[in-house]
Copies of this chain bind each other. A is one copy, B any other.
Amino acid sequence: MGKIFKERTAVETARKLFLEQIVPLKLTEMVRLEASVDRVLARAVYAERNVPHYRRSAMDGYALRASNTQGASPANPILLELSDKVQEGSCVWVHTGAPVPAEANAVLMLEDTQKVGALIEVRAQVHPNRNIGAVGEDIKIGDLIFEKGHQIRPCDASVLASLGFEKIEVFQKPLVAVIPTGDELLNRKKIQEIPPPGRVLETNGLMASLYVEKWGGISRSSEIVPDNQQQLKEAVKANLDADMILISGGTSVGKRDHAPEVLENLGKILVRGIGAVPGKPTTLGLINKVPIVCLPGYPVAGLVALYFFVRAGLWKLAGKEKKLRLENSKPSLKRLLSAKVSSRIGYVSFVRVVLEGEYARPLMGGGAGVLSSVAKADGFLLVPENVEGYEAGAEVEIFLLE
């Protein structure tokens, strides 16, 4: 009537084993810049235009010949004629961003001048090229603007628009199938009342789908599959067109847990049980080339598996190489623990915390099933495998819960 977890894989090892099996998607699509935010460039982008594309004044002031300002100072100003043509002894008004006449080789800023009738009093000396943006000074034709794999930000869309791009080629979004399984689960769309004892509404699938979408994938949800190996097998086979499959539930060691067997049967298990609390029953595998994550049914454990494996897996599928490289240096907050945190050696603990000023208050005494701890948590800290915990007052690194 149930086995006990005999082995477990360290989280980092498990992640490595999982990620190295994931092949980034190759299919691409063209998207308009308006719809490009968070998409991933399928090829490097090189400039096809110069920025600026003309000799541009960097200041409000006067375009002139630098030699005409030689020796000028507030005590010893030089008078130039204000004209519409730059030549010996004359200058032309230019505003910031205006083209600089070809005959000029400098712009004298307004603040260093005084208008005296139709004349301009030059009160400072300028060197050639001063306050002129040369053609291509910022960006030259052929310059690498973004590497393949770059994830587009709003400011990037603007840079691309300035370079004359209307559309860019991006990788398609990974399609992720979400299969909830468990006899105890009820479809929440089909039941209004409180479920009978022993039955619960299926909601982990919703959580998984919404994280998939948040992390740049497209989710596709299956009907709830009962605790039946054959039915689960059929459901998985029906979803092998997806780029990743998440099976939510049925991954522990009870007699009703069929996900690992199905995985073994159709493909192979990479990791069976991880060194994480919560999250221990997480199972990872591969069928054909489709990565499979078996998410524990307890909501917090499922959340941990989503954060540890699904997010990184999605990044790899989507070609977000840079994000993956930065994975271990995610932005965090430093906070002082307002209470002691205990952790089991050999397991990474995912400790939910509430932020209270300079302090982080751990939400302890809650197991993997405690929903209220998820609702309350602002973020989490990770206690490494080889650490027994932290004392109250210790400074810890907090990641916000997305």
Residue of B nearest to A93 (CB): B1
Residue interface mask A47-67, B partner, CB < 8 A = 1 = 001010111001010000000
A window 29-44: CB within 8 A of B: 33-34, 37
Given A34-B206, A159-B375, A203-B162, also A115-B1 (CB < 8 A): yes
Cross-chain contact B372 with A201 (CB below 8 angstroms): no
For residue A95, CB closer than 8 A to chain B, the reply is yes
- What's the least CB distance linking A221 to chain B, in Å? 10
Cross-chain contact A161 with B210 (CB below 8 angstroms): no
For residue A200, CB closer than 8 A to chain B, the reply is yes
- Distance A252 CA – B95 CA, assembled complex (angstroms): 11
Cross-chain contact A254 with B96 (CB below 8 angstroms): yes
For residue A299, CB closer than 8 A to chain B, the reply is yes
- What's the least CB distance linking A207 to chain B, in Å? 4
> Which residues of B lie under 8 Å from residue A93 when comparing CB positions?
1
Which of these, B4, B99, B110, contacts A198 with CB under 8 Å? B99
Cross-chain contact A37 with B99 (CB below 8 angstroms): no
- What's the least CB distance linking A138 to chain B, in Å? 5
> Which residues of B lie under 8 Å from residue A95 when comparing CB positions?
2, 254-256
- Distance A336 CA – B97 CA, assembled complex (angstroms): 35
Given contacts A162-B371, A332-B332, 7 further A-B contacts (CB under 8 A): A53-B195, A155-B299, A159-B371, A159-B372, A159-B375, A331-B400, A332-B333
